[in-house]
Structure 1
């Protein structure tokens, strides 16, 4: 089966971030929306996005496609329905289209001819820019549980002060020394080869993605995500910083999205 994540009507609501990326490549929690879908489906996906972005983000069309609304974050229950989706079937959440089967992703589809399946479970949806930080804690908890299930954290240095250490997970190569990590209110996740330098105060939920760095003397609290290769310092509250973006100096950042 070929899976395609389409932008849908929310793209304009997610500007300016969607000027340079499909909706599926927005990061919320630990992973991007695309990465969440690919982990749940155990398959690769491609985006259906604006024409000017298609050269960098090409869509792969097939004779059997399931198109997925990229504004929705997947759950096990939703994916189990999608994996069994058949021709001329579509999944809805009330009046919102989640997914549909088509033999040509380039053609417009008349969904009135489709058998409609109503999904009644709870779903996280990124429909506005402020959803990225306001729902980051929910997404971070969901991602943490999915990523760490059945796995053991890399060892954490004894120089740190840990609160609720069972809710702290380090990937291979992650480093943290002489810092306070409090995972009482949410998990703390350190991605591969990431680093928290000395003298930092971190309160979960918090995600530091691959090769990202927290410089010395930072204070980070409420659900915050630092994307891959990002560098941060200062005081950060309930914010999401996309990959390759940074807040490299002291000062406050709160209830924000950078990237």
Structure 2
């Protein structure tokens, strides 16, 4: 039986990040949500289903198999709680569908008629939850990296809690940088270069082929993005092919220490979190001296310049 990782209607909660990625293509830790699910079902064919306009190998026709919601944050118990073998069944957690096993009927019919089973799983519902789970997920994902090539660091680099730092193949940390992994792990992806005199604070996950300078902490860089100069990025999710100009800095804490609000589907949503940075979608650019307000979202292909503080939401292609 195949596993089909699918995307439900809650991808809207993750916009603008999910304009160019299915929700299961977002990173949490080192790997994407889809990669975490697939890891729990080894030697099983994995298929994907998402919005028609995304360039993903999609399931063109709903067939039979084990359909797993792409927002599941998979752990080592997933395949036991939701096994491949069995009868038609719908797995739920609270009021959300976690998975559907379609054996004798197709997906849609099983969803309506099959018996349900309650399971305990973590479902990611909002983008700031990816940051909240970052530390534990880097620790979990690094187990799959054993035996892989390691990167290089200059002899002058200072590392606090070195056992909590992972340099993947081709990663380079240049002179005078400080990697502080005392409060969480730090992962630096393949081919990524950490520029001289950079300060990194864990938990932190930087994807492949990034260029990082200044101060970065408690954030996810999806990959292929540049923040080469001074400035601070914290508690944030940075997409692919993003370029942050010199001095670009985000706020991740309000002056009155109240919980941060983020615009979700056009309305201000209280995250309940004291520390929330920004969410920058693919191909966005910021000019020098850009100051990003707390809980801001910046859309796909946006060009933010002119200095000063950004609005709470920057639309795509602005």
Query: Normalised by the size of structure 1, how large is the TM-score?
Result: 0.84
Runs ≥4 residues deviating over 6 A: none
Determine if contact 2:164/2:181 at 8 Å carries over to the other structure. Answer: yes
Q: Is the 8 A contact 2:17 2:239 kept in 1?
A: no
Report the equivalent of 2:221: 226
1:180 matched to which residue of 2? 178
**Which whole-Å CA distance do the structure 2 matches of 1:75 and 1:205 have between them?**
19
Q: Report deviation, 1:205.
A: 0.9
Matched residue pairs, number? 252
| Larger RCO (CA within 8 A; separation ≥ 6) | 1
Counterpart position of 1:51: 52
Matching residue within 152, 155, 163 for 1:158? 155
1:140 & 1:22 partners in 2: Cα distance? 21
Alpha carbons of 1:150 and 1:5: their partners in 2 closer, same or farther (altered >3 Å)?
same
SS of 1:76 mapped into structure 2: coil
Partner Cα distance (1:62, 1:108) in 2: 8
Q: Contact 2:180/2:201 (CA < 8 Å) preserved in 1?
A: yes
Deviation at 1:177, TM superposition (A): 1.9
| Cα distance, 1:57 vs structure 2 | 4.2
Residue 104 (structure 1) shift: 8.7
Residue 15 of structure 1: how far off its partner (Å): 2.5
1:63-106 CA distances to partner (integer Å, 9 max, x unpaired)?
A: 54111111111111012333444231232223321111125997
Q: How far did 1:13 drift? A: 2.1
Contact kept? 1:172, 1:192, Cα under 8 Å: yes
When Rg is computed on C-alpha atoms for both structures, the one with the higher figure is: 2
Residue in structure 2 matched with residue 239 of structure 1 by the alignment: 236
TM-score of the aligned structures, taking structure 2 as reference length: 0.70
RMSD of equivalent CA atoms? 2.7
- Pair 1:14-2:4 in alignment: no
Residue 62 of structure 1 and its aligned partner are, at CA, apart by 7.6
The aligned residue for residue 258 of structure 1 is 280
Task: Go from structure 1 to structure 2 and tell me whether the alpha carbon gap of 1:226 and 1:14 turns closer, same or farther (over 3 Å shift).
Answer: closer
In structure 1, runs of 5+ residues without a counterpart are none
Is the 8 Å Cα contact of residues 61 and 106 (structure 1) preserved in structure 2?
no
Runs of at least 5 residues in structure 2 that lack an aligned partner in the other structure: 253-276, 282-318
Q: Which residue of 1 aligns with 2:2?
A: 2
5 Å-filtered alignment, 1:91-170, equals: 91-103=91-103, 107-111=107-111, 113-120=113-120, 123-144=121-142, 146-148=143-145, 153-154=150-151, 156-170=153-167
